[in-house]
Structure 1
Amino acid sequence: MPAGSPTLAGRYGETAKRRGTTRWLLIGLGVFIAFVMIAWAVWGSGLGSKTAALQYTSTASDTVDEQHILVSFTVDAPAHTAVSCAVEAQNLGFTVVGYDVVHLKPTMKTHQVVTKSLVTYEPAVSGSLDKCWLS
């Protein structure tokens, strides 16, 4: 039988042309997967977005009485950007006993200090900032 016959190729494997095509398909697939992973990492890091510039920190809490607690926190956000923050109060068992969302209006300031009074349905021992987001 001749070396290039279809019977031999079927019995012993692919031809050289077929192997070259498969190699290029695998290289193309690898490049595509690498591109998707790099794009996902850049998108996930928030590069170029206002969210990357949003920072917030819970600074203090002070129990006023059995049904009120003051929670203080700072927010650093781009100027002229509305921000909303969730504030919560917890009891001794770490159960949330008070919760509210604070809406900060757009302002020229990039740093804001906020104090929020929360009403609780049980005595609270701590209050904290849960999270903030751009509104």
Structure 2
Amino acid sequence: MTAMRTQQELDDRYGRARSAGRRRWTWILGGAVVLALIGYFGWNTYTQAAQSVDIDVTGFDLSDAPHSVTVDFQLTLARGSAVSCVVEAQDEEHGIVGWKVVSYPADDAHSRTFSERVATTAAATTGLVPSCWIP
């Protein structure tokens, strides 16, 4: 009858030593990978936030209906960035009855206010700015 061997006895017999140095390097390598991933995702989040544009439509004027709509809006973006936006006029069924792309040069202000007139092909009921981007 064979006696049961402990794991340590088997490791010693077949030369499978669990060295403290190997475990230490495994932890160091694992920690470095985790730190690299945190750095990557942190930098990615920062660059996306720096390139984002916040749009707030503050009002629209239909006084020249059905020929145009004037849209007032405020942009918040990184200082010193040029920006381009789409300005739209929509009818009561949310169909686009006029639109244009406008571009503004770089400015040191963090928030900027604009007013754009959009010619329409039919009577508009609202004006909006669906998207802006930093070129």
Q: TM-score of the superposition, structure 2-length normalised? A: 0.64
Q: Which runs of 5+ in 2 are unaligned?
A: 1-28
The question of 1:43 aligning with 2:39 is answered no
**Aligned position for 1:23:** none
Q: Deviations over 1:63-121 (max 9, x none)?
A: 12201000010012213x11111111100110111111111111232221100000011
Q: How many residues align structurally?
A: 125
Distance 1:40 1:65, change over 3 A: same
Distance 1:94 1:100, change over 3 A: same
Q: TM-score of the superposition, structure 1-length normalised? A: 0.64
* In 2, Cα distance between equivalents of 1:130 and 1:100: 11
CA-based RMSD: 3.6
Distance 1:37 1:98, change over 3 A: farther
Q: Which runs of 4+ in 1 moved over 4 A?
A: 35-38
Distance 1:105 1:120, change over 3 A: same
The question of 1:57 aligning with 2:56 is answered yes
Structure whose alpha-carbon radius of gyration is higher: 2
**Aligned position for 2:85:** 85
Q: Which runs of 5+ in 1 are unaligned?
A: 1-27
1:59 deviates by: 1.0
